[in-house]
Structure 1
Amino acid sequence: MALLFEEIDSQSSPLGEISLRRRRIPALGDRDIYEVKLGEEFLMSSMFVEAEEALSTLGLAQVQGDKLDVVVGGLGLGYTAVAALQDPRIEELLVVEALDTVIGWHKDELVPLGKVLNADARNRYVHGSFFDLATAPDTGFDPENAGKKFDAILLDIDHSPTEYLNAGNAQFYTADNLALMAQQLKPNGVFAMWSQNLPEEKFEALLNSVFDTVESHVVSFYNPFLNGDSTNSVYVCTKSGF
């Protein structure tokens, strides 16, 4: 019989103790559920991945052309990155992650999707702060190609545009810094972002001050703990030219 709970790894990080856990909930069937906690706060669970996957599918649906270069900000449990790689147009995917521990879980295949990402030659992990790289367009996201531009940037790090994993992230959500990030998009490039909350009008207005089009999508998914639906949202923005 499989263990009902196991802590796979726990390490200190600049944000606090981060842990990877695996559990089974018999009422929910014969499957392992992976969780990440930062201190006592739950960051993510493999039970709820629909919106993380929708970040890729909705964002990439707006991208034109082939041989796409894409950035994913935030590795998490790998669901956004794996969903992106299902698009055959992607030539290279950079997954930017600030916590080396999380990259290590994937490289060592302690999480199920690590094996998928490691086997795909299009995928490359970048250890660094997404927010620092996003606001430095002269160097940019790719440590091997300074100033490289991308077809899409997909962001899933903070809980929402107003609720932050780290208080220092708040400074990214300004017109000036979003514009610096937008400089790293090719013409007609796409910026998409996940949020745990419903679309926020003030943030939509901020995005509209930087991008030419902004669409907000509500993603519903079944939550067995509520015996009903929960919702997240995905913002999808395009920039026609510079």
Structure 2
Amino acid sequence: MEYVEVARAESERGELVLRERRDEGAPVVLELRANGVFVMDTLETSTEQALATAALDLVADPRAVVVGGLGLGFTLHEVLADSRVERCAVVEIEEALVGWMRDGTVPHGPTLLADERAALVVADVAVAMAEARPASYDLVLLDVDNGPGYLVHDTNARLYQTRFLETARAALRPGGALVVWSADVAPDLETTLAGVFGSAEARPLEVRLQDRDEHYWLYVARVPSQE
């Protein structure tokens, strides 16, 4: 197997690398790594798709959606596949990653972003949600890490704490929902969500990856339809 670096960037959070993984007789796979840690690739995208599909099924009318974390754009792609969605803002802190998506370094990026419903916001998702207009979104998907137990950056721990979750709740319309992706059970997150929203639930999600069954979790909290 051969690895070819496509792009590299440095930020205050460390190093971001985009590389191709080449194996004889197999399609070229694009892989994203942060500080040497695997984030995602273009071979296994079912988890990102499952997150979006499951979250969209929770809301009757998801006209306005926020996705925290761009990755390689597959969650955004799945959100835009839902005809009920009128706009989707993706908040990504790494400016280089947004640039790679826009300029075609990530080959499918320009086509994805040609959808006029899509908007990329270069910002810390905690700041972006704090600045959002009250009751302006129907669905917030948080896919910045693989959950509170698997942080890409240590500072992301605050995204699973009361202060941030309160800002996310304030940005949601009645009937809206916050959905957090986690690779493992996160009982502390469920408790904190319940404290902010009044109730929360952990939903198991089975995903098939390379002929193996993987078990993930969606942590869901809703705003009542009538408050």
TM-score by length of 2: 0.90
1:190 aligns with 2:177: yes
Q: Which residue of 1 aligns with 2:97?
A: 102
Is 2:135–2:170's contact at 8 Å kept on the other side of the alignment? no
AA of the residue aligned to 1:216: A
Q: Which residue of 2 aligns with 1:143?
A: none
What is the rounded CA distance, in whole Å, between the counterparts of 1:152 and 1:92 in structure 2?
Answer: 11
AA of the residue aligned to 1:36: L
What is the rounded CA distance, in whole Å, between the counterparts of 1:213 and 1:109 in structure 2?
Answer: 42
What is the rounded CA distance, in whole Å, between the counterparts of 1:187 and 1:223 in structure 2?
Answer: 35
Q: Quote how far apart the aligned CAs of 1:214 are.
A: 2.8
1:37 aligns with 2:33: yes
Q: Which digits, 9 at most, give the CA deviation of each residue in 1:26-66, with x for residues without a partner?
A: 4xx63221111112211112233222111111111111236
Is 1:50–1:219's contact at 8 Å kept on the other side of the alignment? no
1:65 aligns with 2:65: no
Is 1:70–1:150's contact at 8 Å kept on the other side of the alignment? yes
Q: Quote how far apart the aligned CAs of 1:164 are.
A: 1.8
AA of the residue aligned to 2:152: L
AA of the residue aligned to 1:174: Q
In the TM superposition, 1:111-190 aligns within 5 A as: 111-134=106-129, 136=130, 139-140=131-132, 146-147=133-134, 149-190=136-177
Q: Percent identity?
A: 31
Worse overlay, 232-241 or 52-61: 232-241
Structure 2 gap ranges (5+): none
Given candidates 34, 49, 57, the residue that maps to 1:53 is 49
What is the rounded CA distance, in whole Å, between the counterparts of 1:232 and 1:48 in structure 2?
Answer: 14
What is the rounded CA distance, in whole Å, between the counterparts of 2:124 and 2:41 in structure 1?
Answer: 22
What is the rounded CA distance, in whole Å, between the counterparts of 2:90 and 2:108 in structure 1?
Answer: 13
Structure 1 gap ranges (5+): 141-145
Is 1:5–1:21's contact at 8 Å kept on the other side of the alignment? yes
What is the rounded CA distance, in whole Å, between the counterparts of 1:171 and 1:133 in structure 2?
Answer: 14
Q: Quote how far apart the aligned CAs of 1:230 are.
A: 2.5
Q: Which residue of 1 aligns with 2:215?
A: 231
In structure 2, the CA distance between the partners of 1:216 and 1:148, relative to structure 1 (3 Å rule), is closer
TM-score by length of 1: 0.85
In structure 2, the CA distance between the partners of 1:54 and 1:214, relative to structure 1 (3 Å rule), is farther
Is 1:52–1:79's contact at 8 Å kept on the other side of the alignment? yes
Q: Which digits, 9 at most, give the CA deviation of each residue in 1:116-154, with x for residues without a partner?
A: 3222110011110002222x2xx22xxxxx556101111
In the TM superposition, 1:74-113 aligns within 5 A as: 74-113=69-108
Q: RMSD of the alignment, in Å? A: 2.1
AA of the residue aligned to 1:169: N
In structure 2, the CA distance between the partners of 1:44 and 1:105, relative to structure 1 (3 Å rule), is same
1:207 aligns with 2:193: yes
Q: Which residue of 2 aligns with 1:7?
A: 5
What is the rounded CA distance, in whole Å, between the counterparts of 1:203 and 1:190 in structure 2?
Answer: 15
AA of the residue aligned to 2:94: L
AA of the residue aligned to 2:206: S
What is the rounded CA distance, in whole Å, between the counterparts of 2:86 and 2:23 in structure 1?
Answer: 38
Q: Quote how far apart the aligned CAs of 1:76 are.
A: 0.5
AA of the residue aligned to 2:179: A
